[in-house]
Amino acid sequence: MSESSSVKQGVAAGTAMGAAVIMVTVGLLQFFQGLAAVYENEEFVVGVEYLYKFDFTVWGWIHLVLGALVAVTGLALFTGAAWARVSAIVIAAISIVANFLWLPHYPWWSVLIIALDVVVIWAISTWRPNPSDAWA
């Protein structure tokens, strides 16, 4: 492995562990956002009508379930297992779609979560852990 390749892998490995932390944090935030939407759906601001309009209670349940999945997958990602990496990429992609659909209601929040999910996908997809590493 060349020196630039090992540096790139070091950055990717560090970013992948950072991605695990980001996933746990984003998952918890999405979970609590969903909880707020389920219990206090009258408090949410309703924007322009869009083609894919859901009731806020439905959005709340979507964010509750997705938030729990993201957080659990983020915790599993700390092991470095192949199934955890694949699951993290798939769930981060689903989170991107869900937050894109949530965009009309809270655009800045949605853009932030989408950007963090893109970082997670990049970090995990470029990280190739060595079998000798403690994370593999």
Q: What is the pLDDT of residue 60?
A: 83
pLDDT in tens, 46-98: 555 665 566 778 878 888 898 899 899 989 988 878 888 899 999 999 989 98
* 97-109: average pLDDT: 84
Higher pLDDT, 126 or 55: 126
Q: Which two tokens stand for residue 25?
A: 């944090």
Q: What is the pLDDT of residue 136?
A: 44
In which band, very low, low, confident or very high, does the pLDDT at 134 lie, cut at 50, 70 and 90? very low
Percentage of the chain beyond pLDDT 70 is: 77
User: In the chain, where are the structural domains located?
Assistant: 9-39+50-124
Q: What is the pLDDT of residue 135?
A: 47
Q: What is the pLDDT of residue 118?
A: 92
Element (H, E) at 63: helix 56-77
Percentage of the chain beyond pLDDT 90 is: 17
Any idea which residue has 């659990």 for tokens? 72
pTM: 0.73
Q: What gap in Å lies between CA 5 and CA 3, rounded to an integer? A: 5
